[in-house]
Amino acid sequence: MVAGAEQLLTYPQLGVSLEEFAPRDVRRVIVDDYELRYEVTEKLIYILRLWYAREDR
């Protein structure tokens, strides 16, 4: 989980852009069984939300 989130430091555009938050650059990425939402700014990456996304099928 931590390693996946750390990839954002190198590749901040890795996640899928969430257009409903425009003009903010809010993105979503799946890391293991978790969905991570984050915002990319000029100098920082803010983790906005993290939740368990696995479903039993």
DSSP string, the chain: -HHHHHHHHH-TT-SEE-GGGTTS-EEEEEETTEEEEEEE-SS-EEEEEEEE-----
Per-residue pLDDT at 57? 47
Mean pLDDT, all residues of the chain:
91
pLDDT tens track for 16-41: 999 999 999 999 999 889 999 999 99
The domain locations on the chain are 2-52
Tell me which residue of 33, 32, 28, 22 sits closest to 8, measured CA to CA. Answer: 28
